[in-house]
Chain A
């Protein structure tokens, strides 16, 4: 009808609000799914309370420091692998992804929203663990150490989000939780997230560096002075490589379906 004003408004359109709302509602949607939010938010904290505080106070003096770092990584992995792997598989299966692609949703909003969601969940898990560590486990760190741990957990989302996205692009929604758990739990165990690698059989401990979670754990452990002493750059390079490779694989896989 009044095409000039239509045209002007079309030019004035800013997608910022769409990006923000997409992220907000992705977060709310998963927060309101107890099957996602309860295990991802509470398991790292509960495990830490059990093994880092209650059991850790006897004998192993360093357990509360060690597990603060590794359960943070455990939480990051859970949020990223489930938040991308399972939810992308379900969105694909139910047709949400198709519908969103038909709509004029701004480019990348879908994935950026998931990324923001996973980072917010990660930040919450990190804060929960820090609160328990400080109040119940008597872990005292410098402010910069707390901040660095928190930052490692938030940025640690990237490689596992890429891995999750790739899994989500391959598998169906029904089987997704089982497949993701099969990747998540063994990898966590074999990377020394539950027990120090020194307590694992030698052969398993030696191959730990093939898991991306090992490298993120080493970065976190370095902050509390409990890492194996390899260079930081090695860990960062491996994690960046994992993020890149799986992001490319997932992008190709998802593009082929369109």
Chain B
């Protein structure tokens, strides 16, 4: 319990393989109280596996997973955690109040039903059967079930998929309140604006590794590097050695260069290749940037003779 103040949960050097697929390849994650960590990454990047390890649904091949200083397989550890998965398969013919009563009974100090209703926006739904609710209402019930145990860690896998804008606003507001109270939240999302609106920290996962981690501003800075594109005969390998250049790549006749500061690099490009044409310099938004980050890492991984 003493360690719980420092980190609520962590994954350290975690590897997990399914057959030929290395789902996680040395992933590190740490969650602190009062912090919302957003896990971003394309499908198949390893987000779901990371969450399953944290929930005790899987055991890592190597590395360490700790929840409140214990193994997530221990009930006592999971009593501090609330969970919302992408599909919960909840019984269609139970009423919302019955589902709440059952899930609350798993926890030592559950929230009152009234609090759950208010925080998840369930007004008027308590005596309805789960199967008769709309998709968005079902997601709200799932969120209520995730928070009903007064968890200190909330794990939300794509929580706002299928929610309308208003319901999403309610959920965001509740999450902000919970984080302000000291709850740690791990969230996966497809919506970058969601990460931007909520997250203290963002971790971009690709091919089972964290390829970028930091505050939203840091990630954006990371990806707010400029991209220089042009038609030129200069060697990409040589340009990659220049100062300010992060990466240089040739795609047919086109050169694509990722740089920290565009001005010096552009000046030198123009000086070295008089025939250079179609010069363009762009700055990525978070979405483009995220795409760029994952594509770069993907290409880098593929250009290696053999993936680890």
Contacts and interface: CB of A to CB of B under 8 A. Distances in A.
B176 interface: no
Give chain B's interface secondary structure class.
Answer: loop
Nearest to A92: B89
A103 B102 CA distance: 11
Contacts of A202: none
Interface stretch (B74-82, B247-255, B271-279, B295-303): B74-82
Contact of A29 (B79, B93, B106, B107): B93
Given A3-B1, A6-B109, A12-B108, A99 B102 contact: no
A107 B55 CA distance: 15
Interface residues of B, number: 32
Interface residues of A, number: 34
Interface stretch (A18-26, A67-75, A164-172, A232-240): A18-26
Given A1-B182, A9-B109, A104 B79 contact: yes
Contacts of B181: 1
B280 interface: no
Given A91-B89, A104-B106, A105-B106, A10 B76 contact: yes
A89 to B, nearest CB: 12
Given A13-B79, A104-B149, A98 B85 contact: yes
Contacts of A18: 102, 105-106
Given A29-B94, A103-B78, A107-B75, A95 B102 contact: no
Interface in A94-142: 94-99, 101-107
B85 A95 contact: yes
Nearest to B89: A94
Contacts of A17: 105
Contacts of A99: 83, 85, 88-90
A211 B90 CA distance: 35
Contacts of A90: 89
A101 B57 CA distance: 7
B215 interface: no
13 contacts: A1-B181, A7-B1, A28-B98, A32-B93, A91-B89, A93-B89, A95-B89, A98-B89, A102-B55, A103-B83, A104-B149, A107-B75, A258-B58
Q: What 5 A-B pairs come out closest when comparing CB atoms?
A: A94-B89, A96-B89, A13-B108, A102-B55, A32-B93
